[in-house]
């Protein structure tokens, strides 16, 4: 029996411990990845401590659990049915887990699968427990088991630590694709200076959006965001007033074509509702943030204005491949973001040390 080190959570309220556990073996169409870096979710401390109270319908992996949402590393071993992936490949492991056999999965929309689960993080209904049983390894361990269909090759100009940012980048990118063609369009990004918002800004610019109305609270980070493309980004601190009213004023009363809401868990819904007021008739609003609750929308306005509200969860491996290609070609420059990295032995320091002063401009990872 071969062993490996992994950080495991044994009980809510306790620190993770570095344990020696059995190393997985590759069978069938699965692969073993030697993890080099794993992204640290900024909200992980809250997830571990409060998720089961906040969202009891969304199960966490059974404890002792190896968490870790965004792993990148090197393929170590492949099962006998694996094709196009070989030991030594530099990869990101998309943590999306699904049955692979239903109509949604076969249609390239695995997020709609009843078994949809984020490995190393949380599930979406009781069926997620089946996925946790099949793939119990998150990224906070030296090796992990993953289905070949969720392994994304990353280019040489993307470091493993940068690869551990793919989850947030992919979530933003997938949501923008749901907006339809962006060339020449206008877009509100609510929560624009956060982890999801910065990624959305980079991709929206690369995908041809004409103007972004970036809404957030802190003016210093908004100015830093505007410096990425001063002629195409208009910023507004919603501490000063209504973001929806501001956007309407800036667009001669018309509003913008599209809106992306990227607010974090437990953020006030009032901010989302207010920003929606800046979207024009026939507009489309995509929600990828973690805020929750009942949104008091006037359904008459919704009907009369022919508005669309779409929820977007995570991204597919195919979209991950598209991101990797854009990074390789220099279309997306990840250097605007700076990493803060801890070794696996300091996992608890990492969980408690994640800050938000730099918004999405700083990202966090554990290096193995």
How far apart are the C-alpha atoms of 356 and 361, rounded to whole Å?
9
Using alpha carbons, select from 182, 243, 172, 252 the residue that is nearest to residue 211: 182
How far apart are the C-alpha atoms of 271 and 119, rounded to whole Å?
30
Which band of pLDDT confidence, cut at 50, 70 and 90, is reported for residue 200? very high
Same fold for the pair 3-165+337-367 and 169-311:
no
Which pLDDT does position 266 carry in this prediction?
72
Which band of pLDDT confidence, cut at 50, 70 and 90, is reported for residue 87? very high
Contact predicate 249/259, CB 8 Å = no
- Give bridge partners of residue 92 from the DSSP assignment: 72, 152
What's the mean pLDDT when you consider all of the chain?
A: 95
Which band of pLDDT confidence, cut at 50, 70 and 90, is reported for residue 285? very high
pLDDT in tens, 169-189: 999 999 999 999 999 999 999
- Give bridge partners of residue 328 from the DSSP assignment: none
Which CA distances in Å does 63 have to 9, 85, 200, 331?
A: 6, 31, 34, 41
Which pLDDT does position 356 carry in this prediction?
60
Across the range 67-89, mean pLDDT stands at 97
Across the range 308-329, mean pLDDT stands at 97
Which pLDDT does position 355 carry in this prediction?
67
Please give the structure tokens belonging to residue 210.
């004409």
How far apart are the C-alpha atoms of 120 and 108, rounded to whole Å?
22
Contact predicate 49/29, CB 8 Å = no
Which pLDDT does position 55 carry in this prediction?
85
Residue with the bigger pLDDT between 353 and 58: it is 58
Which band of pLDDT confidence, cut at 50, 70 and 90, is reported for residue 44? confident
- Give bridge partners of residue 153 from the DSSP assignment: 91
Which band of pLDDT confidence, cut at 50, 70 and 90, is reported for residue 43? confident
Write the DSSP symbol of residue 59.
Answer: P
Across the range 141-156, mean pLDDT stands at 98
Q: Which CATH number is 3-165+337-367's, of 2.40.50.140, 3.90.180.10, 3.40.50.1950, 2.60.40.2250?
A: 3.90.180.10
pLDDT in tens, 352-368: 877 666 889 999 999 99
Which pLDDT does position 159 carry in this prediction?
97
Which band of pLDDT confidence, cut at 50, 70 and 90, is reported for residue 329? very high
pLDDT in tens, 96-113: 999 999 999 999 999 999
Across the range 197-216, mean pLDDT stands at 98
Question: Which CATH architecture fits 169-311?
Answer: 3-Layer(aba) Sandwich (3.40)
Across the range 11-26, mean pLDDT stands at 94
Residue with the bigger pLDDT between 334 and 356: it is 334
- Who's near 183: CB < 8 A, 6+ residues apart? 207, 208, 209, 210
Domain ranges for the chain: 3-165+337-367, 169-311
């Amino acid at each position: 029996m071969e062993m490996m080190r992994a950080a495991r959570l044994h009980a809510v309220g306790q620190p993770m411990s570095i344990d020696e556990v059995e190393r997985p073996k590759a069978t069938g169409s699965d692969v073993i990845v030697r993890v080099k870096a794993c992204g640290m979710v900024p909200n992980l401390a809250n997830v571990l401590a409060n998720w089961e109270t906040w969202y009891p319908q969304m199960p966490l992996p059974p404890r002792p659990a190896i968490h870790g949402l965004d792993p990148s590393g090197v393929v170590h071993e492949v099962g006998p049915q694996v094709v196009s992936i070989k030991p030594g490949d530099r990869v990101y492991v998309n943590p999306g887990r699904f049955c692979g056999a239903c109509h949604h999965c076969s249609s390239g929309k695995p997020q709609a699968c009843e078994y949809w689960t984020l490995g190393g993080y949380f599930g979406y209904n009781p069926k997620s427990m089946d996925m946790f049983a099949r793939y119990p390894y998150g990224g906070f361990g030296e090796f992990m088991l993953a289905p070949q269909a969720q392994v994304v090759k990353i280019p040489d100009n993307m470091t493993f630590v940068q690869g551990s940012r793919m989850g947030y980048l992919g979530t933003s990118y997938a949501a923008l694709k749901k907006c339809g063609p962006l060339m020449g369009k206008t877009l509100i990004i609510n929560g624009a200076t956060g982890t999801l918002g910065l990624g959305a800004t980079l991709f929206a610019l690369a995908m041809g959006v004409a103007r972004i109305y970036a809404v957030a609270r802190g003016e210093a980070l908004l100015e830093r965001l505007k410096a990425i493309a001063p002629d195409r980004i208009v910023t507004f601190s919603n501490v000063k007033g209504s973001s929806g009213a501001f956007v309407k004023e800036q667009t001669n009363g018309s509003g913008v074509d599209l809106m992306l809401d990227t607010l974090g868990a437990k953020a006030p819904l009032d901010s989302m509702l207010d920003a929606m007021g800046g979207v024009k008739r026939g507009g489309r609003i995509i929600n990828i943030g973690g805020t929750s609750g009942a949104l008091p929308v006037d359904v008459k306005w919704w009907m009369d204005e022919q508005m669309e509200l779409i929820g977007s969860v995570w991204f597919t491996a195919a979209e991950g491949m598209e991101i990797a290609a854009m990074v390789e070609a220099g279309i997306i420059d990840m250097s605007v973001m700076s990493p803060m990295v801890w070794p696996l032995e300091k996992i608890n320091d990492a969980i408690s040390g994640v800050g938000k002063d730099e918004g999405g401009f700083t990202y966090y990872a554990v290096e193995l």
